Structure 1
């Protein structure tokens, strides 16, 4: 077995090992809104479940050269947003939102996505997603290397689930009908593969 001490690697070398090992990763397509009312849309794969009571998810937004991204700034300033689950029908447009745009530009100018009003937050959601969570910021944590903030980590409490009727069955989500898409490394994504079951030990 090869052993590598993270401190001996560059940020990019650590990044490559992490995104190549921790796979597949769920993808959050996040809408936030600036103080000026500009809607930002961006995908993030540093995202997961934290708690079901209350329902809380985590989102980590990496900084580039120490600069806070629009999503992180909007979440910090407005205290809310909407998380959408990436699926086969919206993955292409979601990928388009990763374009590097100025803060005063909305990704909706490059991606064919449709805004719809939210019920519990002011930030609009995206009609194309089969599952979305209207969230409020529970906590924000600076991730630092020495004294430099390198990422903004958020705990987001779900205030409202919005789920398409065709994927909702008896209080559960049908994974085949959701057809989620996950992130691998580089430019690679993955569709839902074979599903198998294992009984938990008693």
Structure 2
């Protein structure tokens, strides 16, 4: 079958064809001091100098969800990397809660204060990136949130020497629907000269 993205259903086509997608488990804080935690699988690295990551939730302008609105209001957020031991808790934080209710408290996730930004982070996350708002860009019906990483937390158990070792980080990726992928089944290829 061939056709335009609309003929396939653009969301299902992209969410099912661009896989696995990393998950940004974004923690933020409202102007009223309420901690928010939500997963986003439209997420990736944008640049390394300066170090910038992005996530792109649905909604623009006055229709922003809590997380992007918090980021716009406070200029801060944390991307917590989802690993196998945290995937059930991450999924639980995708539930729609009343405004002003914290996913940390609702799900029972331990939070610790970030070091450089005004937000909490997931205490058990093996990797967390503290970010300051770099920019937001409206793209169709979504808002791409760009954050400059200003501080990183990396658990000793996923380090080899002083470097993050991807073979020790059991990150989880998003597929489509209710499907996820583990990153344990790895292989290595040498890049050609």
Which interval holds the TM-score relative to the shorter structure? over 0.9
- Structure 2 residue aligned with 1:178: 169
Cα deviation for residue 190 of structure 1 reads 1.0
- The two structures, once aligned, show a CA RMSD in angstroms of 1.6
- Structure 1 residue aligned with 2:20: 24
Q: Which runs of 5+ in 1 are unaligned?
A: 145-149
2:149 counterpart of 1:153? no
How big is each residue's C-alpha offset from its partner over 1:104-163, in whole Å with a ceiling of 9 and x where there is no partner? 11112321211101111111111010000000111101122xxxxx11111110000101
Q: Which runs of 5+ in 2 are unaligned?
A: none
Cα deviation for residue 8 of structure 1 reads 4.8
- Structure 1 residue aligned with 2:190: 199
Distance across 2 between alignment mates of 1:56 and 1:109: 29
- With normalisation by structure 1, the TM-score equals 0.90
- Structure 2 residue aligned with 1:99: 95
Q: 2:11 aligns with which of 9, 12, 15?
A: 15
Asked if 1 retains the 8 angstrom alpha-carbon contact of 2:74 and 2:118, the reply is no
Alignment of 1:105-120 (within 5 A): 105-120=101-116
2:74 counterpart of 1:88? no
- Structure 2 residue aligned with 1:53: 49
Distance across 2 between alignment mates of 1:199 and 1:176: 16
Asked if 2 retains the 8 angstrom alpha-carbon contact of 1:80 and 1:121, the reply is yes
- With normalisation by structure 2, the TM-score equals 0.94
Distance across 1 between alignment mates of 2:161 and 2:2: 47
SS of 1:61 mapped into structure 2: coil
Distance across 2 between alignment mates of 1:143 and 1:118: 29
